[in-house]
């Protein structure tokens, strides 16, 4: 009898847990279309400039209309089953902040594009309440302050564009948690500090652009694990130390721009493995030593710029095999010896 009662008790507890879990899931995304619409209208009211005319279609329907149609015809708003799933207000002359943006009222939002506007102020921590976000595009605004550390909670994020703003402070280490991220663009801000080694955890990353900031310290050797990376752009920062030889592992890389930094040491011979590389820009650094002959293996290379360094030794005759090369800049170095006659094979050179 005691065993029977125990089984009943266990069954009851399991059922209770399932009911609570189900209730939690329902409540976590249970905002009504009406609540979402009113919350967006509150944010609209906080904006100024030409935002009012751009969002003139943002009006509530008559009370007798089905509640699932609140935002159906709103400019820049995409809905599914009455719920807002995408907001695209790019280049609509929005001016204001995100302090009144209804983060907690849009649990089904997949995409948020507010690029090319005049939005300013901080990026609120509350953005992490949008747990289903697949992409964020805040490019070309006037956002300031630091990137929230909590942004690492947005595990569904595949695209993150915060470039051309006035963001300061370090790049959050929590970005290393965003293992679905493919595109990470932070360029033309005022970010400082070192590049987190945790970026090397982002195995899905295809394009990484951190150029034109105030980043310092070393290029993380962990970047060598980013096997899907096609673009690595770190130029116009204050990076120092040697270029990690592990960069040579990035077989998918087509563009590598490390120019205008304080990089020293030699050019890694491992670069000869980057068979898909079309652009290699290492100019305006403090690189020394000879130019690796392995650069001659890069048959896809169209532009090679190594000027204004401390490179010495001779120009490799292997350069004569770079048949697609259109630009070759080696000036302001300490190169010696004769110019290889093989350079005459470069019929595409302009």
Alpha-carbon distance of 274 to 256, in angstroms, equals 10
Alpha-carbon distance of 350 to 346, in angstroms, equals 9
Ranking 35-44, 47-56, 157-166 by mean pLDDT, the lowest is 47-56
Distances (CA, A) of 210 to 35, 61, 245: 38, 44, 20
Which ranges of 117-270 would DSSP assign to H, the alpha helix?
none
Q: Which CATH homologous superfamily contains domain 28-135+145-158?
A: Ribonuclease Inhibitor (3.80.10.10)
Above pLDDT 70, what percent of the chain?
Answer: 88
| Biggest distance spanned by C-alpha atoms of the chain | 99
Tokens for 337, please give them. 């010896």
Burial category of 173 from C-beta neighbours within 10 Å (exposed 0-12, middle 13-18, buried 19 and up): middle
Q: Please check whether the domain covering 170-350 is classified as CATH 3.80.10.10.
A: yes
**DSSP H or E segment with residue 46:** helix 33-46
b/e sequence 189-222, b meaning 16+ C-beta within 10 Å: bebbeebbebbbbbebbbbbbbbbbebbeebbeb
309 and 287 Cβ atoms separated by less than 8 Å: yes
The confidence band for 281, taking pLDDT boundaries of 50, 70 and 90, is: very high
The 10s digit of each residue's pLDDT in 79-100 is 988 889 999 999 999 999 999 9
Q: Is residue 18 predicted with pLDDT exceeding 50?
A: no
What is the DSSP code string of 225-257? G-TT--EEE--SSEEEEPPPGGGGG-TT--EEE
The whole-number pLDDT of residue 14 equals 41
Nearest residue to 236 (alpha-carbon basis) of 277, 168, 190, 271: 190
The confidence band for 9, taking pLDDT boundaries of 50, 70 and 90, is: very low
Tokens for 237, please give them. 């920062």
Ranking 4-18, 140-154, 258-272 by mean pLDDT, the lowest is 4-18
Q: Is residue 59 predicted with pLDDT exceeding 70?
A: yes
The 10s digit of each residue's pLDDT in 211-247 is 999 999 999 999 999 999 999 999 999 999 999 999 9
The confidence band for 13, taking pLDDT boundaries of 50, 70 and 90, is: very low
Given phi > 0 = left and psi -120 to 50 = alpha, else beta, which region is 117? Answer: beta
Alpha-carbon distance of 207 to 182, in angstroms, equals 7
Q: Is residue 172 predicted with pLDDT exceeding 90?
A: yes
Q: Is residue 12 predicted with pLDDT exceeding 60?
A: no
CA dihedral defined by 278, 281, 287, 289, rounded to 10 degrees? 30
The whole-number pLDDT of residue 63 equals 64
Q: Are domains 28-135+145-158 and 170-350 of this chain identical in fold?
A: yes
Nearest residue to 304 (alpha-carbon basis) of 286, 331, 325, 333: 325
Other Cβ atoms closer than 10 A to 59:
11
Q: Is residue 15 predicted with pLDDT exceeding 90?
A: no
Alpha-carbon distance of 74 to 85, in angstroms, equals 13
User: What is the residue extent of each domain of the chain?
Assistant: 28-135+145-158, 170-350
The confidence band for 350, taking pLDDT boundaries of 50, 70 and 90, is: very high
Alpha-carbon distance of 114 to 119, in angstroms, equals 8
């Amino acid at each position: 009898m005691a065993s029977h009662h125990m089984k009943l008790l266990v069954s009851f507890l399991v059922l209770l847990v399932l009911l609570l879990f189900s209730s939690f899931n329902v409540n976590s995304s249970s905002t009504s279309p009406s609540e979402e619409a009113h919350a967006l209208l509150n944010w609209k009211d906080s904006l100024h400039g030409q935002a009012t005319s751009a969002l003139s279609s943002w009006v509530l329907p008559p009370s007798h209309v089905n509640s699932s149609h609140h935002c159906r015809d709103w400019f820049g708003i995409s809905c599914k089953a009455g719920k807002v799933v995408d907001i695209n207000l790019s280049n609509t002359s929005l001016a204001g902040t995100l302090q009144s943006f209804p983060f907690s009222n849009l649990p089904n939002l997949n995409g948020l594009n507010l690029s090319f506007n005049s939005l300013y102020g901080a990026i609120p921590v509350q953005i992490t309440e949008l747990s289903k976000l697949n992409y964020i595009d805040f490019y070309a605004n006037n956002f300031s302050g630091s990137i929230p550390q909590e942004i690492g909670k947005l595990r569904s994020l595949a695209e993150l564009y915060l470039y051309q703003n006035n963001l300061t402070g370090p790049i959050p280490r929590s970005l290393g948690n965003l293992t679905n991220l493919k595109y990470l663009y932070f360029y033309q801000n005022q970010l400082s500090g070192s590049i987190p080694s945790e970026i090397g955890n982002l195995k899905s990353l295809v394009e990484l652009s951190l150029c034109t900031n105030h980043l310092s310290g070393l290029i993380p050797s962990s970047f060598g694990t980013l096997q899907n990376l096609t673009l690595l752009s770190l130029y116009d920062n204050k990076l120092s130390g040697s270029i990690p030889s592990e960069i040579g592992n990035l077989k998918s890389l087509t563009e590598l721009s490390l120019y205008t930094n304080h990089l020293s040491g030699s050019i890694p011979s491992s670069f000869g493995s980057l068979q898909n590389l079309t652009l290699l820009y290492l100019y305006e650094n403090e690189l020394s030593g000879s130019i690796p002959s392995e650069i001659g293996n890069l048959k896809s290379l169209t532009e090679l710029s190594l000027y204004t360094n401390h490179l010495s030794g001779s120009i490799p005759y292997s350069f004569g095999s770079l048949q697609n090369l259109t630009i070759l800049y080696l000036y302001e170095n300490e190169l010696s010896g004769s110019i290889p006659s093989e350079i005459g094979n470069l019929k595409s050179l302009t």
